[in-house]
Chains A and B, each alone.
Chain A
Amino acid sequence: QSVLTQPPSVSAAPGQKVTISCSGSSSNIGNNYVSWYQQLPGAAPKLLIYDNNKRPSGIPDRFSGSKSGTSATLGITGLQTGDEADYYCGTWDTMRGVFGGGTKLTVL
């Protein structure tokens, strides 16, 4: 059981918008920064969002992040078939790193 809670799966049509939630507590999300990762099948994870809402160089602005209290959200607009992947949130929690269980995004 993961410390951070994510929905197992989400789906949407190409061109649409989707959001993925990440729920935690005061010991993790509530007092630390959140990062988000995309993992394509058979590949290493890729950083999409860090410090709650910052995008690394090269990440399109279709990807956005936000945080409120003990929850964080990843938003993806203009969905493309290439966005089909597993998405993970991550943060710090009392001297250890923690991840969510992952959300599988299906682009219908």
Chain B
Amino acid sequence: EVQLVETGGGLIQPGGSLRLSCAASGFSISTNYMSWVRQAPGKGLEWVSVIYSSGSTYHADSVKGRFTLSRDNSKNTLYLQMNSLRAEDTAVYYCARDHPTGNYPAFDIWGQGTMVTVSS
């Protein structure tokens, strides 16, 4: 079965760090574009980051310099390292796969999401 499972969310103080993981099954993350999308409570979707199959990464301006996206192909797992966290980073973080034959962005597989709460 093709699926994504995110872990690593939780309550963290402002200025702290957290690493989210996204374990994929049923397909290889190394040959797909993989992204993180977040949704603040009661708000809309916000694109966060993407890693191309080539390994190139792009980030939203709101997280640039603070968040790092990486992957471990041997574990088929995607990571989002989040540093210098702010209250406005509070959101459900979704991991998503881009459609294999579509043009980016076309997120066809989503995880269940993991909640990150930044608060003192």
A residues apposed to B, CB below 8 Å: 2, 32-33, 35, 37, 39, 44-47, 50-51, 54, 56, 86, 88, 90-92, 95-102
Give the residues in chain A near B108, CB-CB below 8 Å.
47, 50, 56
Would you call A95 and B58 a contact (CB within 8 A)? yes
Give the residues in chain B near A50, CB-CB below 8 Å.
99, 102-103, 106, 108
Q: How far is the CB of B71 from chain A (nearest CB, A)?
A: 18
A-B contact count (CB 8 A): 71
Interface of A, secondary structure class, is strand
Would you call A45 and B94 a contact (CB within 8 A)? yes
Q: Can you list 5 A-B pairs with a CB-CB distance of less than 8 A?
A: A33-B103, A47-B106, A88-B44, A97-B104, A100-B44
Give the residues in chain A near B106, CB-CB below 8 Å.
33, 35, 47, 50-51
Would you call A96 and B102 a contact (CB within 8 A)? no
B residues apposed to A, CB below 8 Å: 35, 37, 44-47, 50, 58-61, 94, 99, 102-108, 110-113
Would you call B102 and A99 a contact (CB within 8 A)? no
Known: A45-B37, A45-B110, A99-B45. 14 other contacts (CB 8 A): A35-B102, A35-B107, A37-B45, A44-B111, A44-B113, A47-B106, A51-B103, A88-B44, A90-B45, A96-B58, A97-B47, A97-B105, A99-B47, A100-B44
Would you call B105 and A92 a contact (CB within 8 A)? yes
Q: If the complex has contacts A44-B94, A44-B113, A96-B60, are A35 and B105 also in contact, measured as CB distance less than 8 A?
A: yes
Return the chain A residue nearest B108 by Cβ.
A47
The 3 A-B pairs of least Cβ separation, nearest first, read: A97-B47, A50-B106, A44-B110
Give the residues in chain A near B94, CB-CB below 8 Å.
44-45
Q: How far is the CB of A30 from chain B (nearest CB, A)?
A: 14
Give the residues in chain A near B61, CB-CB below 8 Å.
96
